[in-house]
Amino acid sequence: MKSMLRRLWIQLKFSLVVKGWKYIQKTQLQWYLLRLGAVGKNVTIMNGCIFPHPGSVFIGNHVFINFHSVLFSAPNAGITIADNVVIGPRCMFVTGGHAIDEPNVPIIDNPATAAPIVIEENVWIGANVTILPGVRIAKGCVVGAGSVVTKDTKPFTVVAGVPARLIRSRLPLSKSQKIK
């Protein structure tokens, strides 16, 4: 595990030095990497990403998280990212919120709510996507840029919009479906 983290840090350090980023950003990224719940092999986390509760974020192998993405996981509701996932710039993953069922109670005094977010394998999440608590992005999905995902997706689909809706399937049509 220690050698894997060292290898990952060397890979990230090289990319940071090549891009000419400042030292403070490199040390901040190193701090996050050491505190994430788990990190797989060949993970790239670009500059400006924020993990308010890094211990509840679990990242698989071959994951790319682009610039300025925020993975806001509540301590009791984590974010799990499976293998071969690409996350575009400025994405927001939020696992927490506030109950709003008591209109006579100030919002700040309502209890906090939380539900985990799961991103399954082979998923592409476009730029500026927001994923809300309790959502599962299924295997092979593509989420269009600027979408707000409020519900689980089906495998091998393309979803987009506010809120995100099914655009099409990524699976090839069978002969009977093409005829119709």
Residues with a catalytic annotation lie at: 98
Q: What is the pLDDT along the chain (180 residues), one digit of tens a residue?
A: 555 555 555 455 444 433 433 444 555 556 566 678 888 888 888 888 888 888 899 999 999 999 999 999 988 899 999 999 999 999 999 999 888 888 898 888 888 899 999 999 999 999 999 999 999 999 999 999 999 999 999 999 999 999 999 999 998 866 545 545
Strand 85-87: give its sheet, edge to edge.
Answer: 44-45, 63-65, 85-87, 124-125, 142-143, 157-160, 165-169
pTM over 0.85, yes/no: no
The CA radius of gyration of the chain, in Å to the nearest whole number, is: 18
Domain ranges of the chain: 2-98+106-179
Q: Are strands 85-87 and 124-125 parallel, antiparallel or unpaired?
A: parallel
Architecture of the CATH domain 2-98+106-179: 3 Solenoid (2.160)
